[in-house]
Copies of this chain bind each other. A is one copy, B any other.
Amino acid sequence: MIYPKIISRIKDSSSIAILSHVAPDGDNIGSSLGLYNALERTGKNVRYILDDEVPRLYRFLKNADKVERPGTWEAFDSVVVLDCGEPKLLGKCSQYLENNFIINIDHHISNTAYGNLNMVDANAAAVGEMVYQIIKIMGIPMDQDISECLYTSIVTDTGQFQYANTTSVTHQIAGDLINNGVSAPRMFEQIYQNNSKEKVLLMKLALETLEFYHEDKVACIAMDREKLDAAGAKPEDSDGLVNLARDIESVEAAVFLKELEPGKVKVGFRSKRFVDVCRVAKQFGGGGHIRAAGCTVAGSVDEVKAMVIEAVIKEFQQGVDTI
C-alpha cells in the first residue's frame, strides 16, 4: 500500500512543490489546487508551479491566483506531480524533477512511474478522487474551498458524471463534497454556463457547415480559416463543437475539421458505440481513444474531409458494440 508512504513523506516535508501538465484541464487545476489549499491549511510551505496559464473557467477556484510560472531550478523537500503521465508533459517544470524527491500521483494507465513514490490508479475517474483520499487520510478538514477544487476535477474529467470512468466511488465522493459546501448549480454555472459570445457565434457558423454521410450515420462539421476568423474566436472556443454533430440521433461517428493554416487541417473524431475512431486517427498519424481521437492532416479542408470521411465509413465494417 503506497498511500501511507506518500502521506508520511508529505507530512515530513516542509517545502512542497505541486506540478502538473501543460495545456491544463479541470482535473489538473482542480486536483492541484485542492491539494495546495489543503497543505496550506497545515502550515506547509507549498507552491503550485505550472508552465501555462490557468484557464479562465477555473480562475474562480480558491488561490488560483497563487499559481506560479516556473523560474530557475529550486530544491524542495518533496515535489508532488499530479495527473501527469510522463515528465515531458510538465514543460519547463520538468526541471524540478532533477535532484528533488518525486511523488507521482496519476490515473493514466500509460504513466511511466518516474517518481520516487508512484501512486497510479487507473480506476480513479479523476486525480481529484485520489487527492480526496489523501486529504481524508491526513485528517485535514475538507472545507468548501478544497471541496470546490476536487468537485471541479471530478465533474470535468467525468464529463458531468457521464463517461465510463464514473463509478460508485466517484458519486460517493461528489456527494460528500456537496455535504462539505459545494453548490452544484454554482459549479455548473462557472464551468459550463460560461461560453463566450464568440463561441456561440462559432457554434452558429459550425452548424451551417453540418453535413451527413452514410445514411446519416456520419456527420461532419468543417471550419475553414474564414469562418474561424469571422467569429473572432479563441482556439479553445472550438472545443466541444464536435459534440453538436455527435449528439444527433442517427449519428454514430462525428468528424470535426478545423483549418489551422492553409494546407493544414486538425481533425477531431467522436463515436458512440461501434466505430473505433482511434484506428481511423492512427491512419493519419494521430491517436486517442476508441470513442474520441484526433489527427492533423496536410491538405485543403475539402481534400482532408473527403479522405477522413472515407476512412470513417470503412471503419463501420469493423465495428463492435461496446456499451
The interface residues of chain B lying within 8 Å CB-to-CB of A176 are: 168
Tell whether, in the assembled complex, residue B174 and residue A161 are in contact, meaning their CB atoms are under 8 Å apart. yes
Which of A135-143, A241-249, A309-317 contacts the other chain?
A241-249
Give chain A interface residues in 200-247, CB to chain B under 8 Å.
Answer: 200-201, 203-204, 207-208, 210, 212, 216, 243-244, 246-247
Docked pose: A196 CA to B244 CA in angstroms: 11
| Any B CB within 8 A of the CB of A167 | yes
Asked whether, in the complex, the Cβ of A200 is within 8 Å of the Cβ of B192, the reply is no
Residue of B nearest to A247 (CB): B193
A207/B197 contact (C-beta < 8 A), A247-B192, A273-B189 known: no
Contact A323 B196 (CB under 8 A): no
| Cα–Cα, bound, A183→B192 (Å) | 23
Task: Please tell me if the beta carbons of A179 and B183 are within 8 angstroms of each other in the complex.
Answer: no
Assess the A185–B200 pair: CB atoms within 8 A.
Answer: no
Instruction: Give the distance in Å from the alpha carbon of A195 to the alpha carbon of B246 in the complex.
Output: 9
User: Which single residue of chain B is at the shortest CB-CB distance from A179?
Assistant: B168
Interface size grouping (class) on chain A: 35 or more
Q: Contacting A161 at CB < 8 Å: which of B184, B203, B210, B273?
A: B184
A161 contacts B161, C-beta separation under 8 Å:
yes
In the complex, A278 Cα to B193 Cα: how many Å? 20
- Most B CB contacts (10 A, CB to CB) among A185, A273, A323 go to A185
Q: Which B residues are CB-close (under 8 A) to A172?
A: 171-172, 175
Chain B residue with Cβ nearest A249: B194
A186: Cβ under 8 A from any B Cβ: yes
Q: Is the CB of B244 within 8 A of A200?
A: yes
Nearest opposing residue in chain B for A323, CB measure: B186
Residues of chain B within 8 A (CB-CB) of A183 are 164, 323
Q: Which residues of A contact B (CB under 8 A)?
A: 160-164, 166-172, 174-176, 178-179, 183-186, 188-189, 192-197, 200-201, 203-204, 207-208, 210, 212, 216, 243-244, 246-250, 272-273, 323
Task: Name 13 interchain pairs, CB-CB below 8 A, sorted by A.
Answer: A164-B185, A166-B178, A171-B172, A172-B172, A193-B243, A193-B246, A195-B247, A195-B248, A196-B249, A197-B248, A200-B210, A203-B207, A204-B208
